[in-house]
């Protein structure tokens, strides 16, 4: 069984599955970043008129910028890493998923 799964790892179908999994994860990560930006900016602009102190506004704006910058950079770095190692990362997942499916059929 294990040899059969390893043989499939070199097939064009396997490469297509890896690419599909990578693309789904990529879209999910980008959707998360977009949602984060919308949420943070919504909170910032909703609270902005309620804050009378200028110093607190500056602290709030700087904190929002830092959260958005660092989280966006971290997600982009993760996507770059996943792109470089996608065949290793997703290949293992696919092999394990296929093995689980084979065991369920028995």
How confident is the model at residue 7, as a pLDDT? 64
Instruction: Provide mean pLDDT across the span 71-84.
Output: 93
How confident is the model at residue 17, as a pLDDT? 87
Question: For residue 86, what are the domain limits?
Answer: 2-105
Number of domains the chain is built from: 1
| C-beta separation of 64 from 40 below 8 A | yes
What are the pLDDT digits (tens) for 2-58?
Answer: 555 566 666 788 788 888 999 999 999 999 999 999 999 999 999 999 998 889 999
As given in the structure block, the two tokens for residue 77 are 């770095």
CB-facing half-sphere around the CA of 94: CA atoms within 13 A: 23
Stronger pLDDT, 56 or 88, i.e. the higher one: 56
What are the pLDDT digits (tens) for 92-104?
Answer: 888 888 889 888 8
Residues 6+ apart with CB under 8 A from 68: 36, 37, 40
What are the pLDDT digits (tens) for 44-63?
Answer: 999 999 998 889 999 999 99
Stronger pLDDT, 106 or 5, i.e. the higher one: 106
Q: The pTM is what? A: 0.75
């Amino acid at each position: 069984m294990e040899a059969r799964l390893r043989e499939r790892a070199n097939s064009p179908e396997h490469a297509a599955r890896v690419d599909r999994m990578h693309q789904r994860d990529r879209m999910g990560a980008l959707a998360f970043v977009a949602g984060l930006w919308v949420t943070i900016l919504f909170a910032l602009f909703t609270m902005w008129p309620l804050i009378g102190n200028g110093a607190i506004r500056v602290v709030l704006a700087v904190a929002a910028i830092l959260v958005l910058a660092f989280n966006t950079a971290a997600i982009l770095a993760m996507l770059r890493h996943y792109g470089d190692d996608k065949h290793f990362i997703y290949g293992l997942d696919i092999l394990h998923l296929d093995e689980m499916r084979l065991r369920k059929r028995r």
